[in-house]
Amino acid sequence: MGAGEAPPQTPDGYAPELPQGVSMDQLKSDPMFAGFLKGAHAVGLNNKQVSYLLGEFQQRVALMQDQAADPAVAEAELGKVWTTEQQMVRGLTGAFRGTQAFASDAEHAARIDKKFGSDPDFIRLMAKVGAELGEDRLPEGGLNQAETETKDALMRSPAYLDKTHSEHAVTVAKVNRFYQKAHPAQ
């Protein structure tokens, strides 16, 4: 085995140098590594070789997690599918709509976005879900769910409730436009 080190007598005999923050108990109890030490033993790997593989694996996983969380990576990947600005906007809007529709509440939607918001596969999936939901409208114009939520949020804002607020007039005008759209003059 190169350096002359032999594998341990059994898979439980491994005592590799582990990456910082990883314990042997964690490794043995992690389902992702189930069978790893048995497989390493079966092919005759020694502690030094197992240590190397575990360190390299941890580096690769960390790199993949960093890339998965990078919005620029997601945007570049989505740009291959949604090649125009209009397609990108439509896709991202649909993804937002799809996530909002199936999240339990705003807090749940925020957790989903934090967990999957930079995953291009998830974004594309939710865009399809959002597109299937469509922009349902009430028979006489009406407001879609996003517009209703925006109107309601504006009506709860300090700018709407406080006549002395510097943005009061602008906010009231926005709410009035939503009402005019929902209830057009006959």
DSSP state at residue 82: S
User: 62 or 48: which carries more pLDDT confidence?
Assistant: 48
User: What is the domain extent for residue 28?
Assistant: 11-68
Q: What is the pLDDT of residue 125?
A: 92
Residue 1 lies in a domain: no
Tell me: do 123 and 80 sit in the same domain: yes
Over residues 100-117, mean pLDDT: 85
Q: What is the pLDDT of residue 135?
A: 55
Tell me: do 58 and 75 sit in the same domain: no
DSSP state at residue 138: B
Q: What is the pLDDT of residue 101?
A: 87
Q: Count up the domains in the chain and report the number.
A: 3
Residue that terminates a domain, selected from 21, 39, 68: 68
Q: What is the pLDDT of residue 137?
A: 46
Over residues 32-60, mean pLDDT: 87
Chain-centre distance for alpha carbon 26: 26
Helix axes 120-133, 85-102, angle to 10 degrees: 80
Residue 37 main-chain phi, psi, to 5 deg: -65, -35
pTM, two decimals, is: 0.42
Residue 63 lies in a domain: yes
Of 84, 66, 62, nearest in space to 74 by CA: 66
Tell me: do 53 and 79 sit in the same domain: no
Q: What is the pLDDT of residue 1?
A: 43
CB neighbourhood size of 35 (10 A):
10
Residue 17 lies in a domain: yes
Residue 173 lies in a domain: yes
Hey, what are 15's tokens?
A: 């005592």
Q: Is the pLDDT of residue 127 over 50?
A: yes
Q: What is the pLDDT of residue 177?
A: 84
Tell me: do 80 and 127 sit in the same domain: yes
Residue 4 lies in a domain: no
Hey, what are 113's tokens?
A: 């976005």
Give me the torsion for CA of 9, 15, 19, 22, rounded to 10°: 100
- Cross-strand partners of 138: 141
DSSP state at residue 142: -
pLDDT in tens, 88-100: 888 888 888 888 8
Over residues 50-69, mean pLDDT: 79
Over residues 108-131, mean pLDDT: 87
Hey, what are 124's tokens?
A: 């594309």
Residue 121 lies in a domain: yes
